[in-house]
Copies of this chain bind each other. A is one copy, B any other.
Amino acid sequence: MSKPRFRPQLSAALHLQARKYFRTLTSTMDFSSRLQTLTAQTEAALDTLVPALPADAPAGPARIHAAMRYSLQAGGKRLRPALALAAAGLAGPEAQANALPVAGALECIHTYSLIHDDLPCMDNDDLRRGRPTCHRAFDEATALLAGDALLAQAFLITAEAYANRPALAAALLRELARASSATRLVGGQMQDLLAERAGTATASELDFIHLNKTAALLEASLVCGGLVGSLPDAAITELRRAGRHLGLAFQIIDDVLDATAESTALGKTAGKDARAGKATYVSLHGLEASTRAAAEETTRARAALASLPGDASLLLGLADLMLTRQR
């Protein structure tokens, strides 16, 4: 009953297709076309790495996979996979195609964290990206288990896909485990919840939340891409640094958008944090200083990225996209 046919796999055909498309990417192409290529291959990869189960599959796993896919396919920006693929791309299109499984794994971890964040005992959100949240579309127990399964799936995808390169597999799995751990992703989430309950947070507490709830997985995305590309240690260090600053920028911008944007453009309820009396970068530092801080963090990320070997234009484009995003 440990059915090999249920193991997540990227087919050889999909790998070849991705490599073919990635070979067409040149630094003279416009950024949005390049990003679109990365995103399209990520979507194709996710569809096979978390497949719909066949009709004869047991009902339990079939329902879990359906809920995992529902949330995975809610139309995210695929930012973490794009960062991983762009970092691997520094080593060429073959490495970039090789990074597709771990890129999918990173999106699984991100999606798991969103599903659990939305649950009634956490943020109790009904909508995510304009659609019912997982526990609204299914039920609370199914959403809980689908989140659990997505976290496990991230490790499974990575362990299976890189099994023939055990040193790489071990390094990737360690990076994913560190980013997901009690002191990083989960710890940041808990700290955020404590701050919300207290109705206040110090600047350093807010930094801790941003560095762990958000930056940890962005760092891991860049680092995993670099590991697949066998980049030298110095480059991995710069990727980690860039991820940290991008994560801070990303979260500050999130707070700015929550304070300024319309719900429609945002795809979720705007002004929610302020009304909840939640400490945000904007409530602590003001709108002007926040906008400036986001730009500064982006500049630091760009500096780290620009120091990398190879053509970093795709990574720099992603950094700019994160600064100028409207949702």
Contact = CB atoms under 8 A, between A and B. Distances in A.
Interface of A: 1-3, 6-7, 53, 57-61, 63-65, 68, 112, 116, 119-122, 139-142, 144-145, 147-149, 151-153, 155-156, 158-160, 162-163, 166-167, 169-171, 173-174, 176-178, 180-194, 205, 207-209, 211-212, 216, 219
A216 B149 CA distance: 14
A163 B156 contact: no
B159 A170 contact: yes
Given A147-B148, A166-B171, 8 more contacts: A65-B182, A145-B190, A148-B151, A156-B174, A156-B181, A158-B177, A169-B174, A170-B173
Given A59-B194, A190-B64, A155 B182 contact: no
Given A58-B187, A155-B155, A170-B170, A121 B149 contact: no
A174 B181 contact: no
Given A1-B208, A152-B181, A190-B60, A144 B119 contact: yes
8 contacts: A6-B183, A60-B190, A63-B190, A64-B186, A145-B186, A149-B182, A155-B177, A169-B170
A66 to B, nearest CB: 10
A185 to B, nearest CB: 8
A57 B176 CA distance: 22
Contacts of A178: 2, 7, 156, 159
A289 to B, nearest CB: 21
- Taking the full assembly, how many copies of this chain does it contain? 2
A176 B173 CA distance: 12
Contacts of A140: 121
B122 A64 contact: no
Nearest to A164: B170
Given A116-B144, A152-B151, A60 B189 contact: yes
A194 B149 contact: no
Given A61-B182, A190-B64, A122 B144 contact: yes
B2 A191 contact: no
B63 A194 contact: yes
A257 to B, nearest CB: 24
Contacts of A141: 121-122, 193
Contacts of A173: 155, 159, 169-170, 173
A151 B153 contact: no
Interface centre among A7, A145, A171 (most CB of B within 10 A): A145
Nearest to A141: B121
A191 B121 contact: no
A119 B60 CA distance: 19
The 3 closest A-B pairs by CB, nearest first: A60-B191, A61-B187, A60-B190
